[in-house]
Chain A
Amino acid sequence: EIVMTQSPATLSVSPGERATLSCRASQSVSSNLAWYQQKPGQAPRLLIYGASTRATGIPARFSGSGSGTEFTLTISSLQSEDFAVYYCQQYNNWPQYTFGQGTKLEIK
């Protein structure tokens, strides 16, 4: 099983500032990495797939980078609606998919 490790567990950032979230895979997943946003009481929402491609309707302030085992989600200028929990997911090891444990992005 590929283990996905996200850091930090909690990130405190002020509105308007940049947030950088990390995700590491225990073995290479190539670019088969997705990011999701989840707000309380809601289902996860796809943000990024293919490590760097924004999903339909996702604002340009969200960007993804990385390949292999190291990945980053960057939110360039935090808006109030961006404070949520973010998960990474690998889909390289079909069909045994795994998620990271999540990073909670909170208002500083």
Chain B
Amino acid sequence: QVQLVQSGAEVKKPGASVKVSCKASGYTFTSYDINWVRQATGQGLEWMGWMNPNSGNTGYAQKFQGRVTMTRNTSISTAYMELSSLRSEDTAVYYCAREGGWFDPWGQGTLVTVSS
């Protein structure tokens, strides 16, 4: 079955960077864009950006421009999201999702905690 499996929880200090992975299985990795969405505790869903695994092309929400980088390794069907200059407000669960317009399926989420 189509599945996205994300890396485990991370704890980072303010100013550091975090890199979250998202491993795809059950379909051709290069055939669908991967999007990243985050959710702070008790809050709604916030779209961060997209990546085309075939071309490597990316697009980011303006809020994250300059701080986020989305990459991939097609040999292992894995997408990555790196967020730099972390601050406390970046504490959230980060999700990857396969996109065909709509998002389906989603990864299980990765909790990133930013704390000194």
Per DSSP, chain B at the interface is strand
CA distance A95 to B37 in the complex (A): 13
The 5 closest A-B pairs by CB, nearest first: A34-B102, A46-B104, A43-B106, A49-B102, A99-B45
Q: How many whole Å from A62's CB to the nearest CB in chain B?
A: 14
Question: A36-61 toward B: CB 8 Å interface, digit per residue (1/0)?
Answer: 10000001111001000001000000
User: Can you list 30 A-B contacts (CB < 8 A)?
Assistant: A34-B101, A34-B102, A34-B103, A36-B45, A36-B103, A43-B95, A43-B106, A43-B108, A43-B109, A44-B45, A44-B95, A44-B103, A46-B102, A46-B105, A55-B104, A87-B45, A89-B102, A89-B103, A91-B99, A94-B101, A95-B59, A96-B47, A96-B59, A96-B61, A97-B35, A97-B47, A99-B37, A99-B44, A99-B47, A102-B44
Q: How many whole Å from B105's CB to the nearest CB in chain A?
A: 8
Most A CB contacts (10 A, CB to CB) among B45, B47, B50 go to B45
64-111 of chain B: CB within 8 A of chain A: 95, 99, 101-109
